[in-house]
Amino acid sequence: MSGDELDYQLISSLRYDREALLSAHWNTSRNGDRQSPYLLLSYTVDRFATAAKTHSWATPPEFDLHWLERRCDASLKGKDPSQPYKIRIVHSKRGEFSIESAPVPKLSKPEDLFIAATSNPTSSSPLLGPLISVYPDTEPTSPSIFTSTKTTNRKVYNLARARVSIPAVGVEPGTPKDVILYRPGGQVMETSIRNIAFWREGRWVTPPLRVGCLPGVARRMLIEDGKIVEGEVFTVDLKVGEILLLFNAVEGARLGELCTLS
């Protein structure tokens, strides 16, 4: 077992955005009917609890939505509350939590955080926003506990990015490129930093959790709201130029385009 597999932490990232989220009913209704500037924070609590159980780790007895919200608030003390931030929450094997925040770009239209999930790529309507260039990996990735839970062990994702000449996350912030990871049997899992959906038979289809992808909180919400459905997607069925739906809890939903390596 490598050092990365022995020394790792659980992580989850989400968006803080007062302008986009305080008035968002879909966010309020999932936060005990209380307005919150944190995107789907209650789902992040659920995600940590499930991941900790998967890894046989303990969480603090006081760990719940209100406790985590207070910790997130403390991480933003002294910072401009009108600025959106990426909140990165780290959970150690000992049950300790640390939280970091970093500014992210404001949305041109706050209500558009998940508007891309309503897109129909076969319609004549113009596509929303600049497209993220997405490349299929050149080698398969075997699913593991490190693909089905989010941890600081990023080895398989960094290798996939390197194989298609995309820098590791954080080396070139904002790089509008990503890579699709897939199993040895050809089943698509996700991209290196986003869950993914494909337009199939008039709807967006996202790989099911059984293939080994992450149970992202944005993914959970989009399934609950009927914006996406689960279904297996195979690499042999991917078409260069097809429009993709990409989503996570920091960016919301964005569109991408399947590209090939030149």
Angle between helices 217-224 and 41-54 (to 10 degrees): 120
Contact 183, 142 (CB under 8 A): yes
Angle value at C-alpha 101, between 98 and 102, nearest 5 degrees: 145
In the chain, the domains with their CATH numbers are: 3-107 (3.30.470.10), 114-258 (3.20.10.10)
Residue with tokens 């919200």: 69
End-to-end CA distance of the chain: 36
pTM of the predicted model, to two decimals? 0.94
Cα within 13 Å of Cα(91), Cβ side: 25
Contact 252, 108 (CB under 8 A): no
Residue 208 has pLDDT above 70, yes or no: yes
97 vs 167: CA distance, rounded Å: 28
- 5 forms beta bridges with none
- 245 forms beta bridges with 197, 255
Mean of all residue pLDDT scores within the chain: 94
Pairing of strands 252-258, 243-248: antiparallel
**pLDDT > 70 fraction of the chain, expressed in percent and rounded:** 95
Local confidence band at 2 (pLDDT 50, 70, 90 cut-offs) = low
Pairing of strands 132-136, 177-182: parallel
Local confidence band at 131 (pLDDT 50, 70, 90 cut-offs) = very high
116 vs 199: CA distance, rounded Å: 12
